[in-house]
Amino acid sequence: MRWTKAKLKDLQGRLAQAYPDAKCALDHQDPFQLVVATVLSAQCTDSRVNLTTPALFARYPDAASLANAKPAELESLIRSTGFYHNKAKNLLGLANALLARHSGAVPNDAAQLAALPGVGQKTANVVLANAFGVPALAVDTHIFRVARRLGLSEAKTPEKVEADLCRLFPREDWIELHHQLIFHGRRCCEARRPDCGHCPALALCEVGQGKAEDPHSGTRFEVRGAGKKDPALASLPAPQTPPLASGPKRIISLVPSVTELLVQWGLASRLVGRTRYCLEPKWIRATVPEVGGTKDPNFQRIFDLKPDLVLLEKDENPVSAAVALTKAGIPWLAMEIRTLKDCLTTWLRLGELLGVQEVAKARTDHLKGLLRSKPRKGPGALTLVWKDPWIAAGPDTYLGDLARQAGFRPLGPEGYPRLTDAELEALDPTCILLPTEPYRFTKRHEAELQKRFPRATVALVDGQAMTWYLSRTEQGLELLRGLLGS
């Protein structure tokens, strides 16, 4: 899209109307509080920071008191924001530098701000704009994504996106626009599920209208032949004709747990292909042909099997699989499972698509019943999925939601972050879950971690129950609730 002045104005008007409450989300009374809160917000939500700062600022109201803080006491006050060893070190360095270089005051100069310990260019811009009203347009992860989806910038770095935005919009609008774009990214144009159907900027967005690829994921997810394109499974149209008569009869599943689900639902006879990791139930290994791995499917084998539907999952399979199938004119369906609620909607959609609505409904009702019973409130739990390096499953993943629904408080940064030993310790988990899949955690790893975290409960748990969404969701939930004794 070519952004003319009129279109840019139109966009600004739409955002202003949609987000009249857009403002800095970090609570603060003065520049000192804002710069401290911004340092704490790294790898942490703004709402968590806002819960932490009242006690922190009551104890350390200015740079002088913070510079004299005892590290252990400071750490205990900011512990819940994560990575508290490093953050405490940065805050002490920041307070000392403010005293030494600026008599304890926060400077209103971009270069001087950015030179303070723990304060980079982005934090400097946030402080300049919100504490001093200096026009600045700090590009965070939300603005980066939204600007690229809207076609306001094609740049690949936040700094270049910032430069593009500053060129397009009047300087006097930068501060307001900064907040509006962040609100839009959080409330509507989310990373994984942009709510294009309700987006105030849809008329101006080629990605949302399906005319351009999403620069964020690099693809347009769709079901070919269904007559409509849409990135989310939730919006897939229902089959046009009675499913059993015209529904897919030659299905290839590239998702191990979905393969198992199809067998559970009595659809094994329609399965004409599976990946080499689709190993359950065991007898399908001898009866259903293999078509490569989940990450590297053998397309020639898939084409030869002439499927009328290939089932994919966004995290499990690469985008290239969808692209190759699209080119070959083979219908495919991409699911996205991040929560137990996703399982409920996906069961119903699959049930409808495959003509087994009753089985799907019974399963959905059962899980809904399980979710209705309130679990005991459990401790903070960290789920590790890999070693060397440590990789955790964050609160926004399927494993995170499984832990949450079981009663735990899932810990760690979002997604699947790599963690150093220091970062692992900084999270200070009360409980560490070690699923036996995808990494083969064993009793030995359990014992090693128990030694390192003597106060935590370290539990080796059945990896299939934990990670095989859709086919073993209820099993995973009951397993974790069992650990809590609820």
Q: CB atoms < 10 A from the CB of 393, how many?
A: 27
Task: Pull the structure tokens for residue 208.
Answer: 């949302």
The verdict on whether 140 is a catalytic residue reads yes
Please answer whether residues 443 and 365 qualify as being in contact, where contact means their C-beta atoms are separated by less than 8 angstroms.
no
The verdict on whether 27 is a catalytic residue reads no
Helix (H) or strand (E) holding 311: strand 309-313
Q: CB atoms < 10 A from the CB of 20, how many?
A: 10
Instruction: Pick the binder of ligand SF4 from 39, 207, 322, 480 (CB under 6 A).
Output: 207
Options 122, 314, 342, 401, the catalytic residue: 122
Quick note: the x/- pattern for ligand SF4 over 379-418, rule CB under 6 A, is ----------------------------------------
Residue nearest to ligand SF4 (CB): 208
CA dist 215 and 386 (Å) reads 29
* Nearer to ligand SF4 (CB atom), residue 202 or residue 348: 202
Q: How far apart are the two ends of the chain, measured CA to CA in Å?
A: 54
Question: What residues between 149 and 178 interact with ligand SF4 by CB under 6 A?
Answer: 149-150
* Closest distance to ligand SF4 from the beta carbon of 14 (Å): 10
Residue 201 lies near ligand SF4 (rule: CB under 6 A): yes
Residue 143 lies near ligand SF4 (rule: CB under 6 A): no
Backbone angles phi, psi at 31, to 5 degrees: -60, -35
Helix (H) or strand (E) holding 450: helix 443-452
Instruction: Pick the binder of ligand SF4 from 82, 194, 395, 412 (CB under 6 A).
Output: 194
* Closest distance to ligand SF4 from the beta carbon of 5 (Å): 19
Cβ within 8 Å of residue 257, ≥6 positions away? 467, 468, 469, 470, 471, 472
Between the CA of residue 256 and those of 236, 315, 340, 347, what are the distances in Å?
A: 22, 12, 18, 15
CA dist 286 and 277 (Å) reads 13
Residue 208 lies near ligand SF4 (rule: CB under 6 A): yes
Interstrand relation of 222-223 and 228-229 (parallel, antiparallel or unpaired)? antiparallel
Quick note: the x/- pattern for ligand SF4 over 173-192, rule CB under 6 A, is ---------------xx---
Residue 205 lies near ligand SF4 (rule: CB under 6 A): yes
* Closest distance to ligand SF4 from the beta carbon of 162 (Å): 18
Of 143-151, 157-165, 274-282, 470-478, which part binds ligand SF4 (CB under 6 A)? Answer: 143-151
Options 10, 140, 173, 308, the catalytic residue: 140
* Nearer to ligand SF4 (CB atom), residue 206 or residue 478: 206
Q: Which residues bind ligand SF4 (CB under 6 A)?
A: 146, 149-150, 188-189, 194-196, 199, 201-202, 205, 207-208
Catalytically active residues, by annotation: 122, 140
